[in-house]
Amino acid sequence: MAKPIPTYIIKDALKDFRSPATWRRFKIKKNLPITELASYLEIMFEMYAEHQYDLTYQSDDCLVVMVNNPEEYSMAPSFPGGPKIKYVGLNDFRLNYFNIGDEFLCRWQS
């Protein structure tokens, strides 16, 4: 018998779209790259791959920002008193790096 594929159940909501509240709940494989999740979100919210996006989440010790080329940000200073920022390549980040209950922000730009 085949082993079940580990999955997450994700609820995604449009933050600044309240009337009516717009959200999706779906199941997705745990080991997918974060870029694949972004592609699925574009499809579910009918964005037609016309938007750029960035993804961030707060880990235990820093703010993680997922970008196309983290080397471009290696010399970017943190603000005094602000959070420590870690830049990670979008293609290097997989969903199974998250813990259950973690939240992350995906900002879409036109």
Tens of pLDDT along 52-94? 777 888 888 888 888 888 888 877 777 787 778 888 888 888 8
Distance CA 44, CA 65 (A): 23
Reduce the DSSP state of residue 46 to 3 states and report it. coil
Tens of pLDDT along 1-39? 788 888 888 888 887 776 788 888 989 888 888 888 888
pTM: 0.71
> Which sign does the torsion angle of CA 49, 27, 106, 56 carry?
negative
Nearby residues of 107 by Cβ (< 8 Å), 6 or more positions away: 53, 54, 55, 56
